[in-house]
């Protein structure tokens, strides 16, 4: 995993979201709005919601979703130890099939922290 | 959903775990231990870990797992509003396919709160 | 499968949706609205959208979702032969693991057609 | 789990397969044939193939599929210890989300062995 | 996503299918035939079946399967607006976890339309 | 698939496991141990357990897991014909959505056998 994997991820994601918006009708646009709203501070702070998004992404085994929530967890101040516990819950719930994603999650985290 | 659905769930679960332990070798027993350890207070409190377990169970759509974590969330003092936000994240991540489980999750929660 | 399985399904679903609405915040309510909008006539007629919803539900193996779309497909005038082809695509894509759901889908369809 | 759960499963399965065949076109019929052929003795004996079918069913979390392969494993002479190891692999690969299915798998196995 | 992503996809797919056929026994060959048959014109036209294949591939989150059905949808005359509605149903059913695949689906579509 | 894909896979996997161990607490370490233990000779030989791991990985559609078990199956003396039958079971259980993974599995196998 090269040092600028996270940066490349963010550029690709931004470009591809523009492609989505070029074709998107009302339903897709509303879904995107909802997807932003649901992680905002509420009864639970954004930090916890990002951890929820991360564990859900890990057990569903979506690398892009994991990378996104890893970035957001770092922005919300999640510590190394907290991140490790979120991933542990995901590993036990989701099993060894999640390990390749766990590996890439932690390599992404290492890159973010080192470049932080 | 009858008023004693939660109680019946717990009895069945207890009985079936006895059947598992009758056949279980070392690997299954160690997995069960690990599954208990991972939700204990650590860098993150048990309350947050139970919310992580719940959202993972919702997106993976396992009713028994959801019921178990709903019970544990209640024991850890999760509020109605907090629970609703955990489930909202799961619904957005996992989509409408999670709705039947969301319905049963909230019916279970209602029963627990009413009998609390 | 008793003769009134479909009727029971609809009553339970209605009751449980009331429980959801008792607890639902804005995100869950908006998701429910979006979930209704997306199946309405547009560039594609509702009939095709219900077939899309059915095949998605079959490959994701959600009995309640399958039953709901089976009912809606019947209302939209899907024929026996059309339904069989939707389910065939789902079976090939999703594999033998979908067969128990395929069985229940067709038993539900038979009940709806017989009571139609 | 009542003593005749396995018997009921087999009757329901037989009845529902008749409903499937009532509606099935060529593709569904061919898939059913293929699904029978693939578990027959070949380079690997049927016994191993049934264990493969069981572990696949466990990690995909399909109770009916698990029950079917549990019955077939017993018919092919799989021992308690062999079954436990098949399920252990499934548990580690698939994680704690498979535990409710593991429980029901072993309760089904206990019933089959007791009635064997 | 480079301009020749679709072309590369088709070459790789062709090559890899040759590898499959080198090792394939009767079951795999029959499955491949069945997989071709099920999308042919029948009670439903091939166009609708390709849309069914696409939505199933989106909710199951398989990029290669999505790309294949995107190409076939274009060949069958699916319009931009129809495609967007197929993807919308998949997004609502499958949730935000499908978004990375939705992005790549639309980037692939854009490439096909631009090169069409 | 270049000739040294397997070698690259093993180096990346080794490096990423070091990253995991840098962050891992007791739960992740114990899970890793369990994941090693469960494939060792027992009532079932390691060869069968690797075939179980492979079919589970195929139906759950994890390329890295498939590659790992393909390598291990080769080490345990699984023949071409046996491998084909394991993959056939996975294909029938998991459906056409597994085909892209089946393709890469056999391309990996071909590389291993050619370099064996």
Nearest alpha-carbon partner for B61 in D104, C68, D61, D88: D61
**H-state helical runs in A1-116:** 5-23, 26-37, 46-60, 63-75, 80-94, 99-115
ipTM: 0.96
Quote the CA–CA distance of A18 and C88 in Å, as a whole number: 35
From first to last of its 116 residues, chain C has per-residue pLDDT tens of 445 899 999 999 999 999 999 999 999 999 999 999 999 999 999 999 999 999 999 999 999 999 999 999 999 999 999 999 999 999 999 999 999 999 999 999 999 999 87
For E33-62, the pLDDT digits (tens) are 999 999 999 999 999 999 999 999 999 999
Interface test with B, best of D93, D107, D110, D111 (most B CBs within 10 A): D107
Quote the CA–CA distance of A64 and D58 in Å, as a whole number: 27
What 3-state DSSP class applies to D85?
A: helix
Task: Tell me the two tokens of residue E43.
Answer: 């009670």
The E-side interface with D (CB below 8 A) comprises: 25-27, 30-31, 34, 37-38, 42
SS (HEC) of chain E: CCCCHHHHHHHHHHHHHHHHHHHCCHHHHHHHHHHHHCCCCCCCCHHHHHHHHHHHHHHHCCHHHHHHHHHHHHHCCCCHHHHHHHHHHHHHHHCHHHHHHHHHHHHHHHHHHHHC
The B-side interface with E (CB below 8 A) comprises: 59, 91-98
The verdict on a CB contact (< 8 Å) between E57 and C93 is yes
The pLDDT score that the predictor gives to residue F107 is 97
Largest CA distance in chain D: 42
The verdict on a CB contact (< 8 Å) between F92 and C93 is no
Task: Tell me the two tokens of residue A90.
Answer: 């995901």
User: Which chain E positions have a beta carbon within 8 Å of A60's beta carbon?
Assistant: 97
Q: From C39, which residue of chain A is nearest by alpha-carbon distance?
A: A27
Cα A48 to Cα A36, A55, A69, B47, B108: the distances in Å are 15, 11, 11, 11, 23
Q: What are phi and psi of D25, to 5 degrees?
A: -90, -170
Interface test with D, best of C55, C80, C106, C108 (most D CBs within 10 A): C106
For F14-37, the pLDDT digits (tens) are 999 999 999 999 999 999 999 999
Quote the CA–CA distance of B64 and B84 in Å, as a whole number: 19
The pLDDT score that the predictor gives to residue F4 is 85
Quote the CA–CA distance of F61 and A97 in Å, as a whole number: 9
| Residues C92/C59, Cβ–Cβ less than 8 Å | no
- What DSSP string runs through F41-68? SSSS-HHHHHHHHHHHHHHHT-HHHHHH
Quote the CA–CA distance of F88 and E28 in Å, as a whole number: 6
End-to-end C-alpha distance for chain D, whole angstroms: 17
Interface test with B, best of E56, E59, E89, E96 (most B CBs within 10 A): E96
Which of E1 and A76 is assigned the larger pLDDT? A76
The verdict on a CB contact (< 8 Å) between A16 and E107 is yes
The pLDDT score that the predictor gives to residue F3 is 54
Q: Which residues of B26-58 are buried (b: 16+ CB within 10 A; e: fewer)?
A: ebbebbbebbeebbeebbbebbbbbbbbbbbbb
The pLDDT score that the predictor gives to residue C116 is 72
What 3-state DSSP class applies to C56?
A: helix
User: Which chain C positions have a beta carbon within 8 Å of D31's beta carbon?
Assistant: 88, 91-92, 96
pTM of the model: 0.97
User: Which chain A positions have a beta carbon within 8 Å of C37's beta carbon?
Assistant: 26-27, 30
Using CB atoms, pick whichever of F27, F34, F38 lies closest to residue B37: F27
| Residues A91/A102, Cβ–Cβ less than 8 Å | yes
Strand ranges (DSSP E) for B3-111? none
Which structural domain, as residue segments, surrounds residue C58? 5-115
Quote the CA–CA distance of B63 and B12 in Å, as a whole number: 14
The pLDDT score that the predictor gives to residue D3 is 54
The pLDDT score that the predictor gives to residue E3 is 53
Nearest alpha-carbon partner for C91 in C77, C78, C79, C103: C103
Quote the CA–CA distance of F78 and F101 in Å, as a whole number: 19
Quote the CA–CA distance of C80 and C49 in Å, as a whole number: 17
Can you state the percent helix, strand and coil of chain B, rounding each to 5?
Answer: 80, 0, 20
| Residues E34/F95, Cβ–Cβ less than 8 Å | no
For F40-97, the pLDDT digits (tens) are 999 999 999 999 999 999 999 999 999 999 999 999 999 999 999 999 999 999 999 9
Cα A11 to Cα A1, A8, B104, D59: the distances in Å are 16, 5, 40, 36
The pLDDT score that the predictor gives to residue C3 is 53
| Residues C6/C67, Cβ–Cβ less than 8 Å | yes
The verdict on a CB contact (< 8 Å) between C37 and A26 is yes
The pLDDT score that the predictor gives to residue E6 is 93
Which of A96 and E1 is assigned the larger pLDDT? A96
User: Which chain F positions have a beta carbon within 8 Å of A60's beta carbon?
Assistant: none
User: Which chain B positions have a beta carbon within 8 Å of C22's beta carbon?
Assistant: 106, 110
The C-side interface with E (CB below 8 A) comprises: 34-35, 38-39, 42-44, 48-49, 51-53, 55-60, 65, 79, 81-82, 84-86, 88-90, 92-94
Given CA atoms B15, B21, B27, B32 in this order, what sign does their dihedral have?
A: positive
The pLDDT score that the predictor gives to residue D72 is 98
| Residues F47/F77, Cβ–Cβ less than 8 Å | yes
Average pLDDT for chain E: 96
DSSP state of D42: S
Q: From D32, which residue of chain C is nearest by alpha-carbon distance?
A: C96
CATH number of the domain to which D62 belongs: 1.20.1290.10
| Residues A60/B60, Cβ–Cβ less than 8 Å | yes
| Residues B102/B90, Cβ–Cβ less than 8 Å | yes
Residue that the structure tokens 């079918």 belong to: D53
Ranges of residues in chain A with a pLDDT under 70 are 1-3
The pLDDT score that the predictor gives to residue D112 is 96
In this prediction, residues E70-85 reach a mean pLDDT of: 98
Quote the CA–CA distance of F53 and F60 in Å, as a whole number: 11
Quote the CA–CA distance of D102 and B64 in Å, as a whole number: 12
Strand ranges (DSSP E) for chain F? none
Ranges of residues in chain B with a pLDDT under 50 are 1-2
Number of domains in chain C: 1
| Residues F52/D86, Cβ–Cβ less than 8 Å | yes
Quote the CA–CA distance of F107 and F67 in Å, as a whole number: 10
Task: Tell me the two tokens of residue D66.
Answer: 């698990």
């Amino acid at each position: 995993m090269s040092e600028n994997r996270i940066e490349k991820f963010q550029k690709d994601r931004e470009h591809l979201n523009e492609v989505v918006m070029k074709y998107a009708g009302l339903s897709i646009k509303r879904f995107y709005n909802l997807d932003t709203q649901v992680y905002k501070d509420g009864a639970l702070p954004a930090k916890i919601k990002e951890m929820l998004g991360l564990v859900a992404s890990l057990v569903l085994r979506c690398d892009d979703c994991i990378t996104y929530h890893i970035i957001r967890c770092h922005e919300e101040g999640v510590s190394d130890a907290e991140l490790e516990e979120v991933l542990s819950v995901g590993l036990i719930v989701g099993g060894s099939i999640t390990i390749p994603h766990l590996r890439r999650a932690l390599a992404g985290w290492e890159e973010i922290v080192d470049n932080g």
